[in-house]
A and B are shown apart, each in its own frame.
Chain A
Amino acid sequence: MSRSTKYLKIFAYTYLIFLYAPALLLPLFSFNASQIIAFPLSGFTTNWFENLLYQETLHEALKNSLIVAVSSSILGTILGVLASRAATRYDFTGKQISLTFILAPLVLPEIIVGVALLIVLIQLGLPLNLWSVVLGHTLLILPFSILIMNSAFSNLDISLEEASMDLGENQFGTFYRVILPLVFPGIMASLLIGFTLSLDEFIIAFFLTGTETTLPVYIWAQFRFPKKLPTTMALGTVLLIVSLILLSLSEYFRRRAANSQNSVL
């Protein structure tokens, strides 16, 4: 092995450790018997996980988060499907610029999006509740959904749609019988990514939520009580695992979307 590849290897490992070690501390301390988050570890316990079962405000926050995540991922995906269908299939003036604007939240600081949305909602006199969070999260999910659906739609052979029309189906039947089944893996990937994004999102939820808090906002609030820190760690561990599962699933669907269409010809 040459010297340069050796250094590259060291660099890569260091990078990975810095990236993931903090995340690994979460499950570690959530099984630690002591209330104080510090080494050395003092013993194994599952108490903190059991505690999760008795926190009513936590359950309320979880329910809120699920409502927001499910609604905004569905809403974002529907809009994403429509937008990328239009973008991949039709040419119209202002297509590029409107796409750029829709994709902008991808790189815009969330705090700016959050504040801007807050001002707009207040100016419009709309109440701040879960639905305002859904609105904000939909905005956040839409660019991801469009990027996923764009690749699904651009892999779709246009002659399949023509064949369907030719065989007697109308536009709606063609969409339902040919297009939808072929982009279905893409839709699943978009839903799962959207769900995960919304479930973890803090800043926009923090700005737009009224009295009903979502899970990340609840977790943030818990930090005021040092006693509750290990329980929060346990909650974090659960969230980490759920997110990993959802992301793996969405990656599986995304790859299937790519594969099923590559073998069309």
Chain B
Amino acid sequence: MTTLVEVQDISKSFGAVNAVDGVSLEIDQGQFFSLLGPSGCGKTTLLRLIAGFERPSSGHLLIDNKPMDGVEPNLRPTNMVFQNYAIFPHLNVEQNVAYGLRKKSISKIEKEEMINQVLELVGLSELNLRSANALSGGQKQRVALARALILKPKVLLLDEPLSALDKKLREQMQLELRHLQRAVGITFILVTHDQEEALTMSDKVAVMFDGKVEQVASPRELYERPTSQRVASFIGAMNFINGTVMEAKNEIGINSDILGPLTISRSQVFGDLTENKIIIGIRPERISIVSDGSSVTGSISGRITDASYFGETTYYKVACGKGSETLTVSAQNSFGQMDYQIGEEVKLNVDIKSLVGFSD
């Protein structure tokens, strides 16, 4: 695969604030790439830098191997879907979609064909003459997509395009966007603060904090092998347990109050182990609960202190170890799964292979 977008050490400051701070990224041709982070982390600024609405304070941007220094947004091979869609209110659907075609030397018949095609692609064929003000949120979203896609950009930029939609429509649009991206084969760069959205839609995700990229990885890697505590707790939930490094070779021997002595592989540990302290991370669904009285013996004893019911899963808080440390454990409410009561004594089994260790 070839690199299409190359962000080379780009920084952007507004006054004293460094919105984007020395970011480097490579985004492949045809990839669905997400910029994920909490609000104010600089992800939107980075997107606007790629679109050309902002100029970097330092660093360079290459799209398709061409430097974009000083290139105006209207001359870049990028198109954007805005957060509020920015549909032109004085034009109807067709006029909105055809907006960018004016300067192209294409015959009228060809233009009409292109408009029909793209409207069909986004599922708006029937509404071509409807006024922009009479569109629902989801329809505006589709017009914004059609308007950008008709120009066949090399990169489509999406700035939190689903945040204004209700939950059901949002989930539907996530699937549609993903299908659309595969169908047209255009590189998509999506900005989102919704980790679920990023995981379900993307080929690759860059997690940003405070203007810096913390980790770039596939959704699975990001979830299962987060390289820092911040990433781990931003994406899903994770238990953090203080531990002591007993032995650090190819295998790492760790001791902790809750888990007792155990050994994990070096590849499960991130950061340099300069001190003998380590923080062990474990996802709630990688711990299983067994009743104290059952025949299977768990490795850790604990007592349920809290239970939150979420329909398909229940989250339990389990107090264990000598101290007052608690672990969060999730249990699928599937066929045969037991219900545990608050105060009940239980045993926990931990999936050692899915543990991660952080040096700080």
Contact = CB atoms under 8 A, between A and B. Distances in A.
B84 A178 contact: no
B249 interface: no
A157 B86 contact: yes
A57 interface: no
Contact of A162 (B78, B82, B148): B82
Interface residues of A, number: 22
B51 interface: yes
B53 interface: yes
B99 A263 contact: no
A177 B84 CA distance: 20
B89 A162 contact: no
Contacts of B82: 159, 162-163
A170 B133 CA distance: 25
Interface string A154-165: 000101101111
Interface in A177-208: 177-178, 181-182
B84 A166 contact: no
A265 interface: yes
B133 A167 contact: no
A165 B74 contact: yes
A164 B102 CA distance: 12
A168 B90 contact: no
Interface residues of B, number: 23
A178 B73 contact: no
Nearest to A261: B89
A169 B89 contact: no
B90 A181 contact: yes
Contacts, number: 65
Contacts of A160: 86, 88-89
Nearest to A182: B90
Interface in B84-141: 84, 86, 88-90, 99-100, 102-103, 133
A78 B89 CA distance: 24
A167 B72 CA distance: 11
Contacts of A263: 89, 133
A107 interface: no
Given A168-B151, A263-B133, A163 B88 contact: yes
B82 to A, nearest CB: 5
B201 interface: no
B79 interface: yes
Contact of A167 (B53, B83, B84, B147): B147
A162 B86 contact: yes
Contacts of A165: 53, 72-74
Contacts of B51: 166
A54 B343 CA distance: 105
Q: Most chain-B Cβ atoms within 10 A of its Cβ — which of A162, A166, A181?
A: A166
24 contacts: A157-B84, A157-B86, A159-B82, A163-B82, A164-B88, A165-B72, A165-B73, A165-B74, A166-B51, A166-B53, A166-B73, A166-B148, A167-B99, A167-B147, A168-B74, A169-B100, A170-B72, A170-B74, A173-B102, A181-B90, A182-B89, A182-B90, A260-B90, A265-B84
Interface of A: 157, 159-160, 162-170, 173, 177-178, 181-182, 260-261, 263-265
Given A163-B82, A170-B74, 12 more contacts: A159-B83, A160-B88, A162-B53, A164-B88, A166-B53, A166-B79, A166-B80, A167-B99, A167-B148, A169-B100, A173-B102, A265-B84
